[in-house]
Amino acid sequence: MILILDGSRFDDITGFYSEINRVFMANETWRLGESLDALDDMLRGGYGALHDTDTATLHWLHFDKSRHDLGYAATRGWLQAKLNRPGFDRGHIQAQLEALERGEGQTYFDIILHIIAEHPHIRLKAM
């Protein structure tokens, strides 16, 4: 199975999840929320495009554009928004933000790639 994620269809985190839903959840009656945990769960399979499949290849078009769009600025905004919501470990988030600002922290894009890599049945092809 080949799935095509088109980076030209989004330019922020919200748009990324819209594209994920378009590609992976087209035949479902519900949509994946904006959550890295939900993305991880979805990649395990069992529903959506990955239901009843052993392996899949994900062609990520406009990969470098996505790296930029989900990079420093998007990650900084995402972390700052988390600081303003209750229920998150503020110290941990602040440390992530400081590491990002020093150029040492993971971007949202980096985190997504790490999550995909944790699923060996998904082959990522950057295009």
> Tens digits of per-residue pLDDT, 24-80?
999 999 999 999 999 999 999 888 999 988 899 999 999 999 999 999 999 999 999
Quick one: 42 and 21 in the same domain? Answer: yes
Quick one: 117 and 60 in the same domain? Answer: yes
d(CA 56, CA 65): 23
Quick one: 101 and 117 in the same domain? Answer: no
pLDDT in tens, 3-16: 999 999 999 999 99
**Residue 24 domain boundaries:** 2-65+113-126
How many structural domains does the chain have? 2
Quick one: 34 and 8 in the same domain? Answer: yes
Give the pLDDT confidence score for residue 88 in this predicted structure: 85
d(CA 103, CA 107): 10
* Letter string b/e over residues 60-84, b meaning 16 or more CB atoms within 10 A of that residue's CB: bebbeebbebbeeebbbebbeebee
Quick one: 95 and 118 in the same domain? Answer: no
DSSP label at residue 88: S
Quick one: 61 and 96 in the same domain? Answer: no
Quick one: 118 and 96 in the same domain? Answer: no
Quick one: 60 and 117 in the same domain? Answer: yes
Give the pLDDT confidence score for residue 52 in this predicted structure: 86
Give the pLDDT confidence score for residue 76 in this predicted structure: 97
Quick one: 58 and 86 in the same domain? Answer: no
Quick one: 120 and 86 in the same domain? Answer: no
Quick one: 6 and 59 in the same domain? Answer: yes
Quick one: 15 and 33 in the same domain? Answer: yes
Read off the pTM: 0.94
Domain CATH code at residue 51: 3.30.370.10
